[in-house]
Amino acid sequence: MNRNLEWLMSIIRIVGSSFPRTSWLVQLQTEINSKELLERLDKYEDPISYLHKDIPELSRFVYQMLKLENSDSLKLEFNDEFYNKYSQALAILESNGYIKGCHILGKKYAFGFRLVDPSYILYLCYLEEDGKKMLSLINVVDSCKKGECLDGKTVQNSINLPIPVIKAVFDIFESKGYGWCSKEIGTIKYMGQLP
Count of domains observed in the chain: 1
Question: pTM for the complete prediction?
Answer: 0.77
Q: pLDDT tens, position by position, for the chain (195 residues)? A: 555 667 777 776 666 656 656 566 666 665 555 555 565 555 545 788 889 999 999 999 999 999 998 778 899 999 999 999 999 999 999 999 999 999 998 888 999 999 999 999 999 999 999 999 999 999 999 999 999 999 999 999 999 999 999 999 999 999 999 999 998 888 899 999 987
The string of DSSP codes covering the chain is --TTHHHHHHHHHHHTTSSGGGHHHHHHHHHTT-HHHHHHHHTT-STTGGG-TTHHHHHHHHHHHHHHH-SS--EE---HHHHHHTHHHHHHHHHTTSEEE--BTTBTTTT-EEE--HHHHHHHHHHHS-HHHHHHHHHHHHT--BT-EEEHHHHHHHH---HHHHHHHHHHHHHTTSEEE--STT--EEEE---
| Domain-located, residue 143 | no
| Domain-located, residue 166 | no
| Domain-located, residue 26 | no
| Domain-located, residue 91 | yes
Q: Which domain holds residue 82?
A: 51-118
| Domain-located, residue 92 | yes
| Domain-located, residue 10 | no
